[in-house]
Amino acid sequence: MAHEIPELKVENLVVEYVTEDAVVHAVNDVSFEVPKGSTMGLVGETGAGKTTTALSIMKLLPDPPAKLVSGKIEFAGEDIVPYSEKQMDALRGSTVSMVFQDPMTSLNPVLTVGDQIAEVIRRHQRVSKLEARTKAKEMLELVGISGDRAGEYPHQFSGGMKQRVIIAIALACNPKILIADEPTTALDVTIQAQVLSMMRDIKQKFDTAMILITHDLGVVADICDTVAIMYAGRIIEYGKIEEIFDDFKHPYTEGLFGSLPNLQKRHEKLKPIKGLMPDPSDLPTGCYFHPRCKYATAECAKRQPKKTYLSDTHYVECLAYEEGTGVKIEGGDIK
């Protein structure tokens, strides 16, 4: 049986920010695939390179100082890296859409929400103004807002409703790929649950591939099929949701889970990861995580770990899982 072409494939992506003072190594040799209808969670601390990866896929990096040094970004098998701005303008909104972090700054305050949704529809579809407005009202209804409110302005909506409007704009032309950059960070827990449930339903309805960027492993567990753990611009562990949550291998992944409160063990203290994310303009030698790793040895400072596949779908970048390195993790496993 022929291998199905993934909706999105990123291969050996390298992105730098070049300034007069330094070169910031934001994304360092990142590769992943997102099949049709599936959701990948991109997880890591602030500064890991998650948003830069997303903006690279959309080709929305500020140039200068950002520079896509090398790599491929394929939509349904076609590399879009060489695309002109005009070609990308046709793709954004129709093939790939993005829900940005802050709904407060993503909407135009002087246009009604209906006009902002209709603008996207008219840009990518040959429809009249009336048809676009009708479709805009339908999109509002789809995200749980009355179509009658299409004539209202962003300031008349709550934070959670603004986020729903942003999602309606992103989905207005039924994109094949949706990138959601921390779509629930600014929302309270109740509204967050509603927005996630709505996104899951819409994804299933349109069979949309999705990348969910988040710090919240609880959100990942709720909506994702696969997980990519990102650190200092590299994906250091990747696998199916069950593999990462039930059998994680990288010490950094262990640290992320150790930072979560356990309702069954309320008396236990959290175990935060010591230290800070490294300066991307001055990355450490060897494994980028070794200065913060409790298992690190002298060997870890000497060379970058390779991908070690633990199954067809689960890999880790850690010397402890490579043969002949002499690096050991307690009991041969971190769990």
Map tokens 């596949």 to a residue.
309
* Whether pLDDT at 96 is above 90: yes
Q: Which of 8-17, 120-129, 155-164, 268-277 has the lowest mean pLDDT?
A: 268-277
CA angle 226, 227, 230 (to 5 degrees): 155
More confident residue, 222 or 269: 222
DSSP string, 63-91: TTTEEEEEEEEEETTEE-TT--HHHHHHH
Map tokens 């790939």 to a residue.
96
Whole-number Å distance between alpha carbons of 246 and 240: 10
pLDDT at 91: 92
Whole-number Å distance between alpha carbons of 98 and 324: 43
Summarised one tens digit per residue, pLDDT across range 234-267 is 999 999 999 999 999 999 999 999 887 776 766 7
pLDDT at 55: 95
Summarised one tens digit per residue, pLDDT across range 121-141 is 998 888 999 999 999 999 999
Rounded (10°) angle between helices 129-142 and 159-171: 130
b/e per residue 286-313 (b: at least 16 CB within 10 A): bbbbbebbebbeebbeeeebeebeeeee
pTM equals 0.90
Query: For residue 124, what are its two tokens?
Result: 């990518």
More confident residue, 237 or 173: 237
Rounded (10°) angle between helices 113-124 and 129-142: 120
- Write the Ramachandran bin of 62: left for phi over 0, alpha for psi from -120 to 50, otherwise beta: beta
pLDDT band at 205 (very low <50, low <70, confident <90, very high): confident
pLDDT at 293: 94
Map tokens 């009336």 to a residue.
130
Whole-number Å distance between alpha carbons of 142 and 328: 52
Query: What does each C-alpha distance from 79 to 11, 72, 88, 128 come to in angstroms?
Result: 10, 6, 12, 32
Q: Which residues contact 300 (CB under 8 A, 6 or more apart)?
A: 286, 287, 290, 293, 319, 327
DSSP string, 165-191: HHHHHHHTT--SEEEEESTTTTS-HHH
Q: Which residues contact 270 (CB under 8 A, 6 or more apart)?
A: 258, 259, 260, 261
**Partner residues linked to 67 by β-bridges:** 16
The average confidence (pLDDT) of the chain is: 90
- Write the Ramachandran bin of 334: left for phi over 0, alpha for psi from -120 to 50, otherwise beta: alpha
pLDDT at 334: 60
Tell me which DSSP letter residue 269 carries.
Answer: P
pLDDT band at 1 (very low <50, low <70, confident <90, very high): very low
* Whether pLDDT at 233 is above 80: yes
